[in-house]
Amino acid sequence: MKICVITLGCPKNVVDSEYLTARLLNDKVEFIDRADQADVVIINTCAFILPAREEAIETILEAVNLKSQGKIKRIYVTGCLPQLYLDELQTELPEVDGFFAQLDFNQIGRKLTRELNLESSKNSQKRFLQTPGHYAYLKISEGCDNRCFYCTIPRIKGNYQSWARTHLIDEAKQLVDGGVRELILVAQDTTYYGWEKGNRHALINLINSLAKVEQLKWIRILYAHPAHVEDKLIQLYNEQEKLCRYIDLPIQHISNKILKSMGRQIAENDIRKVIAKLRNQVPNIAIRTTLMVGYPGEDEEDFRLLKNFVSQVQFERLGVFKFIPESGTPAARLPDQIDEQTKEDRLQEIMELQYDIAGQKNQKMLGQTVAVIIDEPEEKNASFAGRTQWDSPLIDNLVHLSGEVEAGKFYNVTINRTEEYDLWGKVNSLIY
């Protein structure tokens, strides 16, 4: 049976799809990438903003079209869309053979095994990776307790639930035995791990336990919340060699008026304090952030504060998004909604600012020798693409290099050319 699993959305959805596919894995199943050549298509959806829901519906309708042409037999839909709109979907899309709103993807896998008359998988692997075999995401919790006023995720995923450290360590050991050398910690708020159980050092303990897994080389933190970055976590960067000098720290905004209106539970001063501590205490840390422009009530002064903040802090990595009023969120009911053109102009202004900053930062890398993990060969120039410890997969800079290298291995590379979002280098030696 040919099964095509389409994963939309964030790395947390990737992990969910990997649990699901591991449960379906058996010698009567072949996983393929082409939906039009599959017997069964499973679509793991994202729904946290309108464009994501539109993409999910489009993908489902493409599968429905293939089914109407007799090219595929079954369609199943999982993830955030059925978690939000199960009844509507079942009514509107009867061509779909099943919608699964469960959060537990192992359970969905077992249900689908029965539904597809497959033998239950004898596969002992917890996950069937969708990422290249040398890096994997480790999802450490489900849900979120932060309740930012523009966000639908708590309505989709519920309250914060930290996953047991023992379970995560077992999973990490299995992944590393399978060839993973870089683990990327993901959650809605990674830094809140254990807090709902009153344990504010749970993330530090988890990282130290993960670091004991011998063949694991890099541990990376994504989705940290500035209100939950503890001093001890900052210290850990200097104590735990395997922890990449990198933190993804979505800030969203810096104007106190907007931060309050967003319900971000943190004010400008405290955000600046966290960044100053990271900069002062962790030499050459790369801070990635995410900003939102066009939030209701964001006037010229608020936006000027945000631009100044970007110029002052000089983030190593930055993404910026336009506010989208999500129905059912308090922010969607706010007065002073901003027009689309203004949102677009502000987004472009921030990206232009960051483009120059990124270029200057990369120029300082010229002549430096850094550790690079090789991700994959590139189509052109017989070269390979890799990343430094300051770059997360798919969202940050690439290092392009040629020579006898192997995916998943780490090499010492001397940087000899840079652009805003790309580096080029010469391989010196294999590290491991």
Q: Which residues bind ligand SF4 (CB under 6 A)?
A: 144, 146-148, 151, 153-154, 188-189, 225
Give the C-alpha separation, 248 to 250, whole Å: 6
Closest approach of ligand SF4 to the CB of residue 151, in Å:
3
Paired strand residues for 77:
43, 99
Closest approach of ligand SF4 to the CB of residue 175, in Å:
25
Nearer to ligand SF4, 323 or 390 (CB): 323
Closest approach of ligand SF4 to the CB of residue 324, in Å:
12
DSSP 3-state of 422: strand
Q: Give residue 265's region: left, alpha or beta (phi > 0; psi -120 to 50).
A: left
Nearer to ligand SF4, 154 or 330 (CB): 154
209: amino acid identity, one letter: S
Nearer to ligand SF4, 132 or 158 (CB): 158
Closest approach of ligand SF4 to the CB of residue 43, in Å:
22
Cβ neighbours around 398 below 10 Å, total:
20
Nearer to ligand SF4, 146 or 240 (CB): 146
Q: Give residue 198's region: left, alpha or beta (phi > 0; psi -120 to 50).
A: left
Could you give the C-alpha distances from 323 to 2, 96, 252, 296, 393, in angstroms and in order? 40, 32, 10, 8, 25
SS (H, E, C) 259-278: HHHHCCCCCHHHHHHHHHHH
Nearer to ligand SF4, 12 or 242 (CB): 12
Closest approach of ligand SF4 to the CB of residue 147, in Å:
6
Nearer to ligand SF4, 216 or 292 (CB): 292
Closest approach of ligand SF4 to the CB of residue 390, in Å:
23
Residue for token pair 């104590």: 239
Nearer to ligand SF4, 41 or 229 (CB): 229
Give the C-alpha separation, 20 to 177, whole Å: 20
User: Going along 107-179, which residue ranges are E strands?
Assistant: 135-139, 141-142, 161-162
Nearer to ligand SF4, 137 or 411 (CB): 137
Closest approach of ligand SF4 to the CB of residue 311, in Å:
25
Strands 74-79 and 135-139, bridge-based pairing:
unpaired
Cβ-proximal residues to 88 (8 Å cutoff; 6+ apart), any chain: none
Closest approach of ligand SF4 to the CB of residue 150, in Å:
7
Nearer to ligand SF4, 137 or 218 (CB): 137
Closest approach of ligand SF4 to the CB of residue 259, in Å:
12
Nearer to ligand SF4, 48 or 411 (CB): 48
Closest approach of ligand SF4 to the CB of residue 253, in Å:
12
Q: What is the chain's percent helix, strand, coil content, to nearest 5?
A: 40, 20, 40
Could you give the C-alpha distances from 431 to 74, 104, 385, 401, in angstroms and in order? 47, 39, 17, 16
DSSP 3-state of 348: helix
Work out whether the CA dihedral 89, 91, 97, 102 comes out positive or negative: positive
User: What is the Rg, in whole angstroms, of the alpha carbon atoms belonging to the chain?
Assistant: 22
